[in-house]
Every structure is written in structure tokens, then in C-alpha cells.
A and B are shown apart, each in its own frame.
Chain A
Amino acid sequence: DVKVTQSSRYLVKRTGEKVFLECVQDMDHENMFWYRQDPGLGLRLIYFSYDVKMKEKGDIPEGYSVSREKKERFSLILESASTNQTSMYLCASSLTQGDSPLHFGNGTRLTVT
């Protein structure tokens, strides 16, 4: 079974802090993704990566950056956390583009106060 592990289940940060969300997958997947999920808005893609050191903006990249230095690890960075970034953050990976499903981590519930 694919395992996608997110480093924290719950996180509380203060406005203006730099926040790192870590994600590791153990199945040698090429593709990794970061989503946020908010009530009524569904899943929204922040950033994705199809290869090491490669990144592409999703639908809502503003206020976020990412890092993929190793194939198995994809980090989401909130440069200066704001209250409107309070959300559930979901990391996912997939084997190939196009016909492979996403496998999600357990999620990180981030609260910015």
C-alpha cells in the first residue's frame, strides 16, 4: 500500500511566522501535490511537482512556496502565515500523470492565530 506521511496532524502558528509542512511518500511516485480544503470550497490545488527540483503553480499559489529536493519529499512553505491560511492541508502523490489516482496523506489541520 502507498503510504503518504504528513509530519503534523495539528499545528497552531502565529500570524507572520514561517511555517513548514512536510510530506513524505514511500512508493517512488514521480508526482506530488499540495491541496488545501475548506468548507464549501472543496479541494484547491496549491502547488504540484512532477520531478525532483521541479514545481508548478496550482490554482491558489499566492502566499505559498514549495521545495522538492528529494523524490520522496515535498514541502509546503508558508512564508508569512496569515489567518486566511487556516485550513486543512493535504499532501498527495501519484505514480504517473493522467491515469493514476492520487493517494492522500492524513492531512494537517493548521490554525493561524
Chain B
Amino acid sequence: QKEVEQNSGPLSVPEGAIASLNCTYSDRGSQSFFWYRQYSGKSPELIMSIYSNGDKEDGRFTAQLNKASQYVSLLIRDSQPSDSATYLCAVTEYSGAGSYQLTFGKGTKLSVIP
């Protein structure tokens, strides 16, 4: 069973600080990695995609991928109370016969304290 692991939190950070969210995955063949944000009672929304080792920046968000360590992270700079949400890590893995499977972690709840 392919697994995607996240610390469930809650992770509390003060407003203006850097929030660091981590995700590990079990399948070395994984190729595509995504971070979703989900507000309470709402559906997940895509905030970052990353496909190759290294960092990818988009505004206050930076995704970091290390395939050798099977580790992907999301950094949120200058955290705002509006960033308070659950962050889901998702990893696409090849499941054979031309099919791919997207596996989600259970999410890390982030709370930004004003």
C-alpha cells in the first residue's frame, strides 16, 4: 500500500513567521507532487505543483522536493491568519497498466496566530 505521511498538527505559528509543512511518501517511483489547501467545510484547492528536485516558488509559497529522501515540503512565508487551513500533500504514482494513482496524505492543520 502506497503511503503519504503528514504530521496532523495542529501546527501553530505567529503571524508573519514562516510555516513549514512536511510530507514523506513511500514510492520511489513517484513523479508528481501537489499541495492543496482546504478551509474548514470547503473543498481542497490546488496551491502548488512540483515535479523535479529543488525548490519552486510562487508568491509566499515555496515547495521543496527531495526525491532521494522521498520528502516534499511547503514553506509559507509571512504567514497570515487567512493561511489557517488544512494542507494536503498529494503524490502521483504509477500503478501499472498505464494507470496512475494519486494518493493524498491526511493533511496538516495550520493555525496562524495574530
A selection of 16 A-B contacts at a CB cut-off of 8 Å is A40-B106, A41-B106, A42-B88, A43-B104, A90-B43, A97-B98, A97-B99, A97-B100, A98-B31, A98-B32, A98-B92, A99-B92, A102-B44, A102-B102, A104-B44, A105-B43
Interface residues of A in 60-84 (CB under 8 A from B): none
Interface residues of B in 21-62 (CB under 8 A from A): 31-32, 34, 42-46, 49, 51
Interface of A is mostly: loop
Could you tell me if A101 and B46 are in contact, using CB atoms closer than 8 angstroms?
A: yes
Q: Which interface class (under 10, 10 to 19, 20 to 34, 35 or more) fits B?
A: 20 to 34
Interface residues of B in 61-114 (CB under 8 A from A): 88, 90, 92, 94, 98-100, 102, 104-107
A106 within 8 A of B: yes
**How many residues on A have C-beta within 8 angstroms of the other chain's C-beta atoms?**
18
In the assembly, what is the distance between CA of A105 and CA of B100, in Å?
A: 21
Question: A42-B104, A42-B106 known; A98 and B43 CB under 8 Å?
Answer: no
Could you tell me if B42 and A106 are in contact, using CB atoms closer than 8 angstroms?
A: yes
Residues of B whose CB lies within 8 Å of any CB of A are 31-32, 34, 42-46, 49, 51, 88, 90, 92, 94, 98-100, 102, 104-107
Could you tell me if B43 and A104 are in contact, using CB atoms closer than 8 angstroms?
A: yes
Residues of A whose CB lies within 8 Å of any CB of B are 40-43, 50, 56, 90, 97-107
Give the distance to chain A from B70, nearest Cβ to Cβ, in Å.
Answer: 18
List residues of chain B with CB within 8 A of the CB of A102. Answer: 34, 44, 46, 90, 102
Could you tell me if B45 and A43 are in contact, using CB atoms closer than 8 angstroms?
A: no
Could you tell me if A98 and B100 are in contact, using CB atoms closer than 8 angstroms?
A: yes
Could you tell me if A107 and B43 are in contact, using CB atoms closer than 8 angstroms?
A: yes
List residues of chain B with CB within 8 A of the CB of A104. Answer: 43-45
Give the distance to chain B from A33, nearest Cβ to Cβ, in Å.
Answer: 8
In the assembly, what is the distance between CA of A97 and CA of B98, in Å?
A: 9
In the assembly, what is the distance between CA of A100 and CA of B33, in Å?
A: 10
